Amino acid sequence: MTKLSVNINKVATIRNARGNNLPDLVQVAIDCEKYGAQGITVHPRPDERHITYQDVYDLKPVVTTEFNIEGFPNTSFINLVLDVKPQQVTLVPDPPGVLTSNAGWDTAKQKDFLKEIISEFKAAGIRTSIFVDTAMTNIENAVGTGTDRIELYTGPYAEIFDSNRDEAILSFTKAADLANKLGLGINAGHDLNLNNLSFFKDNIKALLEVSIGHALICDSLYYGLENTIEKYLNCLK
């Protein structure tokens, strides 16, 4: 079964809007796991507009499934990850101030940069994943970075899913087939939701994990957090 990692950034966004501890981010993470989530994802950004670095330290002792920290590997982020030692770090090529992740790494141009950072994380016993699009050259060159996994950026899939699901999935099935042949683990994330998740999972061989935040938190406003997590898990069965 593909694992569900719940990204709790949006919970922190709501909390930060009032400057107190409501909702309690740590308690939400504990409850997500209690309701069946197999991982917790956070993506601290330099401006700490949602997840703060202190949140990462507060979450580390309570996350009992998989703790996945996403982000751009600047010096502060690297030091944070090496200090916390999550089960997985996902490297994302976010420029400063970007609203949300919207592109994958150019693994040919940035291979040496990624290779150096990934070797440092792997030496610390941290599994690594890198955010990539479906371009075959980026999948092929990902191997040379030393990463354990790739996370397929699924924004383009979600964008055209409603109008043409077969076209939407095509490049992703090809990318996944290549990744499987090259021995890369496959994660996925971005704009996956209750409408498009099952079809994606059914068509991507050996999909190990999906990281979902925005849509899941939005759905929980209507269904409640426990019911929403159950709905997403059902999509992955």
Residue from 175, 174, 127 nearest 152 by CA: 175
Q: How far apart are CA 118 and CA 68, in angstroms?
A: 15
Token representation of residue 30: 């504990």
Query: Which member of 43, 50, 66, 151 is catalytic?
Result: 43
Secondary structure letter of residue 52 according to DSSP: -
70 is catalytic: yes
Q: Kindly give, in sequence order, each residue whose CB lies less than 8 Å from that of residue 28, ignoring residues fewer than 6 positions away.
A: 8, 11, 225
To the query of whether residue 190 is one of the catalytic residues in this protein, the response is yes
Residue 66 among the catalytic residues: no
Of 33, 66, 70, 209, which residue is the catalytic one? 70
Tokens of 193: 């939701």
Of the candidates 33, 151, 190, 209, the residue annotated as catalytic is 190
Report how far residue 175's alpha carbon sits from residue 20's, in angstroms, rounded to the nearest whole number. 43
The answer to whether 185 touches 149, Cβ cutoff 8 Å, is yes
Q: Which residues are catalytic?
A: 43, 70, 190
